[in-house]
Amino acid sequence: MFDTGSTAFMLVATSLVMLMTPGLAFFYGGLVGRKNVLTIMTQSFFSMGWTTLIWVAVGYSLCFSGDVGGITGDLRHAFLTGITAATPSPLNPGIPLFVFIAYQMMFAIITPALITGAFANRVNFKAYILFLTFWLLCVYFPLTHMIWGGGMLQQWGVLDFAGGMVVHASAGFGALASVLFIGRRRVGDRGPHSIPLVALGTGLLWFGWYGFNAGSEFAADKITALAFLNTDIAASIAAVTWITIAWVVEKKPKFVGLLTGSVAGLATITPCAGYVTPQIAVLIGAIAASLCYVAVYLKNRLHLDDALDVFGVHGVGGVVGCLCLGLFASLGVNPAGVNGLIHSGNATFFLKQLSATAGVAVYAFLFSYAMLWLINRVTPVRVSEEVENGGLDADLHGEEAYI
């Protein structure tokens, strides 16, 4: 007999995570110039459709069924074979497995969509489809299995409450690889063409993140409430910290900085949300904004054209969050977790988090770079200078956001 309350909660959480991808489309769409709005929004929305097909066909099975060498699952549940409406979830038998499948699918949809902000205004749509497909198959699915699906890192004792490694570190370092492979934009972007769109996207992301983090407990209990509260605290503190730093350094309290800081806080608290106290969430929010701001500042000094700061916010935020988990996790908060370095004095768990995070980052970077190199041999990854100059919306999609 299924628990209707928990099932209803998880359906709501799943819907919230789904909302994050349109939120990301608005967030990125507002940050680019007017002639490239539809292109980057299309990339996010296309992931919603295409990733769903791949997930149902092989993705769920590769992530969560069987085990092959600790790296990937098998295909026993390809096309959801052998699963019915009465099949319970292994994480919480009181909830149908179909709910878990749908919830995890939303994570798979948004993760590669995050990367698109790094190569904004430069990539052919055909190349993007190939990148999306193979990145899911070769990066996201194996990492999900290794960390959440019973694979080698989970067996080793690595923790990631809601996706610091699986989602943010992998997407951030995939973004860095794409920036280095594709190169700088030939045509300078004047900056955000619609800050209100960025604000709308941020609001949707922030709202959806409650489902992203609180739903990762896969039950409605005290840890769910903790993760929910920690999510809001870290985002709020990071937003205020970022705008304060910007006010001091740039002499203006910029709205985009406030919005960017909140996303940095959300990304950083994600792996820790169910394992740390609210007081630690305050600290994590401040650390997130400070280190991500520095990362974006250094990116600009090095002239790396990560157009929408995917690496600086999600890559650095994800890594910092995973390390904060190694430092601040507490069994007193969550008995299903572990004591971090400051609670136990034992560096073993922290070193596991450090090693796993580094491994995920290196793998995501190297495979993403190699994959772009191979795709470029099949179809040009980068658009021509003429297309870039005229805007990708009209040339690639035959549409314009503004007439």
- Cβ-count burial of 118 within 10 angstroms (0-12 exposed, 13-18 middle, 19+ buried)? buried
Tell me: the pLDDT tens digits for 260-271?
999 999 999 999
Assigned token pair, 348: 């073993």
**Above 90 in pLDDT, residue 166?**
yes
* 94-122 average pLDDT score: 97
Q: How confident is the model at residue 190 (pLDDT cuts 50, 70, 90)?
A: confident
% the chain with pLDDT above 70 = 100
Q: How confident is the model at residue 118 (pLDDT cuts 50, 70, 90)?
A: very high
Q: What is the mean pLDDT of residues 177-201?
A: 92
Pick the more confident residue, 206 or 90.
206
The pLDDT value recorded for residue 191 is 79
Number of helices and strands (H, E) in the chain? 18, 0
Q: What is the pLDDT of residues 368-401, one digit of tens each?
A: 999 999 999 999 999 999 999 999 999 999 999 9
- Render pLDDT for 284-322 as a digit per residue (tens, 0 to 9): 999 999 999 999 999 999 999 999 999 999 999 999 999
Q: Report d(CA 297, CA 165) in Å as an integer.
A: 23
Residue 214's pLDDT is 98
Quote the pLDDT of residue 360: 98
CB-CB contact of 321 with 130 (8 Å): no
Per-residue pLDDT at 1? 78
- pLDDT recorded at residue 403: 80
Give the residue-averaged pLDDT of 61-88. Answer: 97
Given this model, what pLDDT does residue 111 score?
98
Give CA–CA dist 82/77, Å, rounded.
6
Q: What is the mean pLDDT of residues 17-25?
A: 98
pLDDT (tens digit per residue) in 32-56? 999 999 999 999 999 999 999 999 9
Give the CATH architecture of domain 4-397.
Answer: Orthogonal Bundle (1.10)
Nearest to 383 by CA among 134, 177, 128: 128
Is the dihedral angle over the CA atoms 250, 254, 256, 258 positive or is it negative? positive
Q: Check residue 382 and give its pLDDT.
A: 97
Say if residues 107 and 166 touch (Cβ distance below 8 Å): yes
Question: How is the chain split into domains, by residue range?
Answer: 4-397
Q: What pLDDT does residue 241 have?
A: 98
List pLDDT tens digits, range 320-353: 999 999 999 999 999 999 999 999 888 999 999 9
pLDDT (mean) for 196-207: 98
Q: Could you give the count of Cα atoms lying within 13 Å of 381 in the half-sphere of its Cβ?
A: 22
pLDDT of residue 22: 98
- Indicate the pLDDT class of residue 156, thresholds 50, 70 and 90: very high
As a whole number of angstroms, the distance between CA 181 and CA 174 comes to 11
pLDDT at 385: 93
